[in-house]
Structure 1
Amino acid sequence: MASSRGKTTKERRGVHAMNKKLLVGVAAGVSVAALTLTGCSSTASSTGAPSGSPAAEPVKGGNLTWIDVTGQFEATDPAAIYLGEELAGLRRTVYRGLTALTVADDANTKVVGDLATDTGTTPDEGKTWSFTLKDGLKWQDGAEITCADLQYGLSRSYDASLVAGTGVGTTYLAQYDLYDPAAPDYDLSSEYTGPLSGSAEAQAHFEAAASCEGSTITYHFKNAWPDFPYAAASLFTTDPYQESAEKGTAGLWTVNANGPYKLQGDTFDPSATDVLVRNDQYDPATDSTDVRGAYPDTITFDWVADPETITARLIADSGDDAAAFSPISIPSSKYSEISSDLSGRVEKTTSPYTRFLGINSLTLTDPKVRRALVLATDKTGFVQAAGGDNWGTPTSTIVSQSIAGFVENPSTKDDDPAGDPEAAKKLLAEAGQPNPEISYAFSDTPTNEKTAAVLQAGWQKAGFKVTLAPIPTDAKPSYYGQISAKDKNGQKIDVYYSGWASDWPTLFGVVPPILQSNPADATAGVGFNYGFYSNPDVDAAIADATAATDPAKQVAALQKADELAGADGAYVPLANQNNYYIHGSKIGGFLPDIASSYYPDLGGLYVAQ
C-alpha cells in the first residue's frame, strides 16, 4: 500500500470434491518463508526471541497500555480499516478473519485458519477459493457467525462511504476481478455499490460472486489470486459483519467484536482513552495461542499529542506506564536520551516500509536518463537527513527486507549508495541530454525539505537541472491525489517522493501494484503505478508469476520483474525504514513481527505480575 499503512500519518488502502491446495503455501500451517528462495533478512537487534520479557512464560492478567498519537486511527469499522496501526491493534483483539498469521520471529510466521477451518481450497490454481467456518463462533451478543455474515462483510467493501477512502473494494477486488460465473461480462467493480445503496440486480450478481452454501463461502475471481489466504489474514476485506449491527457511516467508530476482547462503551474515541475488556462470548477453543494469547485482562488505548510525549513517558517508566508500549517509533529528537541502561527496553527492527522515488515515465521517457537519475542519487545522505541509521538503511529495491522473497535488485545493488555523478554524466551524454530539467515533488514537511536538498545536490552534480516542487500537507487534492493523476493535476512533476508497504507479506503485494502497466484508458495510476511505468517484459514476468503454482517459480518471476524494472530506471530506490521502539519494564513478549507489519504484536504481549 502507499505509505499509509502504519505510517504516523496517512500519506495516502459444498466445495468441489476434487479440490487441490494451491502450492503457494496455503495448506494449513505453511510458513511465509516457504514462499522465498533466499529467505528474509532483518535489522532486528534481537536474536529472534521476544525482547523485554520479565518472566520466563507469558502470564494472564493486568492492564496493558497502548500509547499512541491522536489521529493515528481513522476508523474501527472493519470496512474502513486499512492503516497498519489499526490492523495491528484490532486483529489480535476484537476482530478475527478467515485466516490469520501466527506470532513468530522474522519470516517464520504461518498462515492458518482463523474463523475458517483451514487456509482455503482452490480447484483452479487460485481463481476460485472456498472456506468453511468453524463451529462455535459467536459475536459479542452471542449470535452465531454465519456464511451470510462473511458475504455481507465483503459486500461493504464496495461502498465508498464505508471504506473511508481506503479503496480496498475497488482495488484488489477489481484487480483480481470478483465476478458472477453465470454473468462473466457483468462488472461488479463499476456496477455494485454495496449493500446499502446497490441495486437488487447488482446485489444478486455479488451474492453469486461470493456465494454461500451452508457454512462455506466461495469466492470467484477471473484472475488467479495465488496468495489470497495471506490477503485475507492481513486485510479486513473478507471479515464477517453482522447485518443487524449495520449503522452505515454512523458506525465508523463502533466495534462489534468476535475476538477475545470487546470495547467498553458504545464508540471508540481516538482522541481520549479507550478500553478493551474480555469478551465472554469468545471461545478460546476455536482459536490458537499462536495467533492470540489474549494475556492481559484489559487493554487501554491512551491517545496523546505527539511522539515526544510518548517516548518521555516510556523512558520514565512510572506507574501504569511500566506496563505500556507504543507502535510509534522513537523520534530523532529523543535519540540522545536513549542511554545504555535502557537497552533492555529498546528495540530496532526492520519494517515493511521502503522509501523510493517514483518517476513519471510519461515525461522522462529515456531509460538512460532515468538510470542516470538513479546513479546520481545520494541514498546515504538521504538516510542521514531523514533520521540516520535508526531511521533506515539504503536499499536497491522497492521490496522490504521484511518480505519473503527479498533480494537486493541485481540491476542496482552495486550502485554507490552515496551517488556516482560521473557514471550518471556518462549515461546522460550517451542519451544526448547532458543537462535534463526535472521537477521533484514531495509533501512539504521539514524532514522532506531536508531530504529534498540532499537529493537535489546529488542530481545537480551529475548535470540535472532540478526544480523543487513541494506540495502543502493540506493541499486539495492531497499529495497522493495529485501525483496519482496521469496529468499530475496540471503540474510538471517528473520525480516524486513515495513509499510502500506490502498489504500482505509476499512479493505479490509489492511488485505488481507498483510495476504492472496501467490500463490504456486510465486517468489515474492503478495500484501504485503513479508514474505510469510500462514495460512489456516486466508485465510478462508478473503474468508468469501469477500463472505459476510452484512458489519458487512465483518468487523467481517477481524478482525478475523487479530486476528488469531496475535496469530500465523504473524507480529510484532509497531506503528500507526501521522501527525504533521503547516499552515499559513490565512488558513481556515484546515482538515486532511480520504478522503485525513489524508493529509490536499484541498476540504475544503480556504484563508481568
Structure 2
Amino acid sequence: MRRFLISLLPALALMLAAGAAKADGGGTFRSAMRTGCIEMGTLHTTCGHRLDETVLQGLVHIKWTGDGVQPMLAESWKTPDGGKTYVFSLRHGVKWHDGAPFTAKDVVFSLNLYANPKVGSPWSQKLSAVTGYKAFQDGSATSLAGVKAVDDATVQIELDSAKPLWIELQLIAISIFPEHILGKVAPADIKGNAFWVNRVGTGPFIWKKYESDQYVEVDRNPDYFLGAPKLDRIIYQIYKDVPPIIAALETQEVDAMSYEGGGVPISELPRLQKLDYLTVLPKFSAGLPTYLQFNLENKRFADVRVRQAMLYAIDRKAIIETVKQSAGELLNTLFPQDWARAKDLEPYDYNPDKAKQLLTDAGWDASQPVDFIYYYSDQMNVDTVTAIQSYLAAVGVNIQPRLLDPAAINQIYADGSFQMGFFAQGMGLDPSLGSPLVVCGAKPLAMGYCNPKVDELFNKGLESNDRAARAASYQEASRILNQDLPKAWLWNEVRPLAFNNRIVGLAQHFKEQPLVIFNHPVYNEVEKWEVAK
C-alpha cells in the first residue's frame, strides 16, 4: 500500500498543480475508501453508495442535515391520496455522462432491477411496499406492477397502503441506472458487472479511471444539473484497513477518511486533535447497532438458547468501559433510537453460569470451532473481537476470528458458508432502516430469520408520520427482537471522524450532520466544495 501511495503522489501532485493554476476554483479532493466497495456494484455493497453521491444519483437524496430530502433526478412529486400513490416529475434536459438522455424508462428499469429476485440485492426490501413486490419475488410476476412511466418525464409509483414517509425513509436508498447500458445485462450477471468499474451516471462528477484496489478518479461534470462543481476532480484512494487511512490523514495524503469499517480509533484522537489542519469530531454519533450475526439456516445457531447463551456469556458493560473507553451505549434490541425501544426488555446481564446451562440444554457441541468473520480492522475493534473470543471460550464456544473485506464477506454470504460474525448496521435516521436485517426473505442480512409479526410491525411503522403512533409499532417489534435474538445485540456505536480543512465545505457539512448516514447517498452540496485559497 505504501509503495502504491509513493507511486501515486507524483501524479496527484501534478493534478493539484494543474488545479491550483486555475483562477476559478479547481483542485482535487482526496477521499479515503475501503477495499471491496467498488467492483460488486451499488446493488450489492454499502460503502459503494458514496459513489452514488458523485457519479450516480437517485430521484431524491437525504440532506446532510438529516431533516429532509433534496430533489435530484426528480424535480418534484405529489401524492393525491395521502402517500399511497406518488407521481414524480423528472428533471428535463438531464443526460447520462455518455450523452444519452435520462428518461422515465431509466427509473422504471432501476426500480425493477433492485426488486428483481435474480439480482439478489439486499436493498430490494426498500421497495417491499410497492404494489406487486411480493408477486415479483415469488415469481408470479416479472416486474413491479406498481411502477410505470406515464410519459418520458413522469413516473408513477403505487404502494400497497398509504405510507407518507416512504420517500424520506425508503426511496432515499435507491439509485437510478442507465437502462440503455444495464438493460442489456442479464439480471444474474449484474453483480460484479464491468459497468461498476466504468460507471455512467448523471451526477456532478464523471468516471475517469479505476485502478483495482488502488484508486478511482472522477472528474468535474460541466453540465451537472445543479451547477458545475468547483472542484476539478475527486480521487477515492482505496485502503485495506483503518491504520493506513489515519496515517494518510496525518501526512495530508487524503482529505477525508472513510466512515465505513471504523472511524478514528479512540487511542489516536489526542494526537489528531493537535493537528491544526484537521477538524476532528470525537463523539460523532453513528446510529450504529452492533451485534453478533448468526446464520440461522445453520442448525448450530437455529436454537434461540444458543444465541441467548452467547449474549449472557459476554460482559458487554466491561468491554464498553475498558476496551471501548466508554464509546458506546448498551443495546438489547435492534433500534438505536430511544423512542423506538420498549422499556421492559430483557437486559441480558453478564451471567456465564446461565450461558453454560443454556448451551448444555441446547446440546451445544463445544468441540466444533466456529468460523467468525469481522470487518473492522482498527485496534479497538480488534481488541473487542479478542475480548468476545475470550468470553465465549470461557463457556465452551470456540470462535476463530477472520478479518475479511466486503467483497469476501459477500462471497461467503452467497455460497452459504457464513457461520457467525461481528457486524453493525447504520440506521440512525429511523428505526425503519433496520428492516433489511430482520424482515422475512431479506437476503443476505436477515440470515434466515422470519417472524411475520415483525414484518407487520415494520410495515405499520411506515403508515403514519406521527411519532407516537409509530413508536407503538417499533416498541412492540423491539420486544420480539429482544426475545427472538436473530442477532445478539451488543451496543450502539459512536464513530469519531476527521477531515482536512484544505477542502472548504467538507468539515463544515459534517459538523452540521447529526450522525453518520450509512448506506445512503447523501446530498452534501459537493458541487460547491472547493480547495481553500
TM-score by length of 2: 0.72
Q: Contact 1:275/1:298 (CA < 8 Å) preserved in 2?
A: yes
Aligned to 1:357: 292
| Runs of at least 5 residues in structure 1 that lack an aligned partner in the other structure | 1-58, 193-201, 286-292, 520-524
> For 2:32, which of 68, 93, 107 is the aligned residue?
68
> For 1:513, which of 436, 439, 448 is the aligned residue?
436
Deviation string 1:186-239 (CA, Å, 9 cap, x unpaired) is: x333549xxxxxxxxx7xx638542111222122444666543135653234x1
Query: CA 1:247–1:333 in 2, change beyond 3 Å: closer, same or farther?
Result: farther
Q: Contact 1:255/1:268 (CA < 8 Å) preserved in 2?
A: no
Deviation at 1:557, TM superposition (A): 0.8
Distance of 2:406 and 2:503 partners within structure 1:
41
Query: CA 1:60–1:210 in 2, change beyond 3 Å: closer, same or farther?
Result: farther
> For 1:132, which of 89, 109, 121 is the aligned residue?
89
Report the secondary structure of 1:296's partner residue. Answer: coil
Deviation at 1:561, TM superposition (A): 0.9
Q: Contact 2:32/2:258 (CA < 8 Å) preserved in 1?
A: yes
Q: Contact 2:320/2:326 (CA < 8 Å) preserved in 1?
A: no
Aligned to 2:129: 176
Aligned to 2:196: 252
Alignment of 1:354-503 (within 5 A): 354-358=289-293, 371=308, 373-383=310-320, 388-389=324-325, 392-400=328-336, 410-412=343-345, 416=349, 419-421=350-352, 424=354, 433=361, 441-443=371-373, 451=384, 453-455=386-388, 457-458=390-391, 464-468=395-399, 470=401, 473=404, 497-502=422-427
TM-score by length of 1: 0.64
Deviation at 1:158, TM superposition (A): 5.6
Aligned to 1:32: none
Q: Contact 1:314/1:584 (CA < 8 Å) preserved in 2?
A: yes
Deviation at 1:532, TM superposition (A): 2.9
> For 2:445, which of 514, 520, 528 is the aligned residue?
528
Distance of 2:200 and 2:295 partners within structure 1:
44
- 1:210 counterpart = 2:133: no
- 1:607 counterpart = 2:531: yes
- 1:147 counterpart = 2:104: yes
Query: CA 1:474–1:368 in 2, change beyond 3 Å: closer, same or farther?
Result: closer
Distance of 1:304 and 1:60 partners within structure 2:
32
Structure 2 letter corresponding to 1:603? E
- 1:188 counterpart = 2:120: no
> For 1:597, which of 512, 515, 518 is the aligned residue?
518
Deviation at 1:608, TM superposition (A): 1.6
Distance of 1:138 and 1:300 partners within structure 2:
23
> For 1:87, which of 45, 49, 74 is the aligned residue?
49
Aligned to 2:225: 283
Aligned to 2:242: 307
Report the secondary structure of 2:501's partner residue. Answer: coil
Deviation at 1:132, TM superposition (A): 1.6
Deviation at 1:74, TM superposition (A): 1.9
Distance of 1:160 and 1:577 partners within structure 2:
32
Report the secondary structure of 1:219's partner residue. Answer: strand
Query: CA 1:470–1:122 in 2, change beyond 3 Å: closer, same or farther?
Result: farther
Aligned length: 484
Deviation at 1:307, TM superposition (A): 3.4
Deviation at 1:279, TM superposition (A): 1.8
Deviation string 1:147-173 (CA, Å, 9 cap, x unpaired) is: 122123334436688x5x64444x444
Report the secondary structure of 1:255's partner residue. Answer: coil
Aligned to 1:586: 502
Q: Contact 2:136/2:144 (CA < 8 Å) preserved in 1?
A: no
Q: Contact 1:379/1:394 (CA < 8 Å) preserved in 2?
A: yes
Distance of 1:474 and 1:116 partners within structure 2:
34
| Runs of at least 5 residues in structure 2 that lack an aligned partner in the other structure | 1-22, 186-192
Distance of 2:522 and 2:433 partners within structure 1:
21
- 1:235 counterpart = 2:173: yes
Aligned to 2:14: none
Query: CA 1:406–1:433 in 2, change beyond 3 Å: closer, same or farther?
Result: same
Distance of 1:231 and 1:375 partners within structure 2:
34
Distance of 1:133 and 1:506 partners within structure 2:
27
Deviation at 1:356, TM superposition (A): 1.0
- 1:121 counterpart = 2:65: no
Aligned to 1:563: 479
Distance of 2:131 and 2:414 partners within structure 1:
24
Report the secondary structure of 1:88's partner residue. Answer: helix
Distance of 2:166 and 2:81 partners within structure 1:
14
Q: Contact 1:484/1:531 (CA < 8 Å) preserved in 2?
A: no
Deviation at 1:563, TM superposition (A): 2.7
Structure 1 letter corresponding to 2:136? L
Deviation at 1:139, TM superposition (A): 3.1
Deviation at 1:137, TM superposition (A): 3.0
Aligned to 1:324: 255
Distance of 1:475 and 1:111 partners within structure 2:
28
- 1:335 counterpart = 2:335: no
Identical residues among aligned pairs (%): 17
Distance of 2:478 and 2:211 partners within structure 1:
42
Structure 2 letter corresponding to 1:210? V
Q: Contact 1:483/1:496 (CA < 8 Å) preserved in 2?
A: no
Query: CA 1:226–1:529 in 2, change beyond 3 Å: closer, same or farther?
Result: farther
